[in-house]
Structure 1
């Protein structure tokens, strides 16, 4: 039964992936610290991903080593991706699919409380964060907006981490359902439904 549930957790959201969604296209002209801070709180994909990074950090089956490094690496890579887009005009391909895939991946990591080797976890964290940073870099104007976005991201990571640590003793009861919900959200983003 557990194997079937895990297989369903992975395959059900993937059945919803026929097309790509582009929610961050265009220039939204977000300027100022307060607007930058509010921006990740208003986007459900960014909000879900940032909370999921904190949750994954707290819920991994191994030690809590990732509790510090994954959110920190994510925030720094998000900053690098956004700054690269803002200052250098960096335009990596497949940013929107990358954001949706980050939700799928983080959902899987939360659902199964995966404790990846440090190198693999670091690489995945960097890839996910760069996609989010590149998308938001097109929308932000100025260092104050960028600083606000990164601070809000850190706050969301901390909230996810705190919730995950608080609920860690009962994680087996709820993490697969929450992870499947994140994966479904990611699949719906890829499909263009959301």
Structure 2
């Protein structure tokens, strides 16, 4: 099982490496790679939600460790396609802010739903995040490059969240308090984003 988890994390990292390399070429944005890679990292709401997904997955463990982040990336691609194509989705900004609240609470409360439910929640919120990335794609960016790089940045943020969750889990008896504090801070930030204070 540990070998499968390590393989999954290595696969996510391998998928992410091309975008990292192209994001710093020094010759423009390489057809959308730099813009796509920086978009998820440039917004607090996106960073918090992506890290929360990884931390939530690490709390669940087992197959959820890779299924939850993978479903997020996959459904984010769907949302990105809808955004690029200009298909209208209502309440995108509210959905993004709520994702930070809900995923932060999932971490704080150590929510332990069935894997299918966790995958569904992550996938639902991913559509909103992907839509925002797609809708904000620069006009001169190559769509495929842009999408691959924002998916890679998302996967890296998930890996950060997984690493945090695993590290916190190893500190022993204080891990529950650390997760409660971190998740609560994320949820409060989500409320601030939702109400316009952040």
Q: TM-score range by the shorter chain?
A: 0.7 to 0.9
More helix by percentage: 2
Distance in 1 (alpha carbons) for counterparts of 2:197 and 2:161: 26
SS in structure 1 at match of 2:170? helix
The answer for unaligned runs of 5 or more in structure 1 is 1-30
Partner of 1:115: 112
Distance in 2 (alpha carbons) for counterparts of 1:111 and 1:169: 17
Partner of 1:136: 133
The answer for unaligned runs of 5 or more in structure 2 is 1-30
Distance in 2 (alpha carbons) for counterparts of 1:114 and 1:50: 17
Shift of residue 119, structure 1, vs aligned partner: 2.6
Partner of 2:98: 101
Larger RCO, structure (CA 8 Å, separation 6 or more): 1
Distance in 2 (alpha carbons) for counterparts of 1:180 and 1:166: 18
Distance in 1 (alpha carbons) for counterparts of 2:163 and 2:182: 16
2:123 to 114, 123, 126: 126
Distance in 2 (alpha carbons) for counterparts of 1:39 and 1:92: 19
Partner of 1:169: 170
Shift of residue 133, structure 1, vs aligned partner: 0.7
Shift of residue 42, structure 1, vs aligned partner: 1.1
SS in structure 1 at match of 2:62? coil
Structure 1 stretches of 4+ moved >6 Å:
none
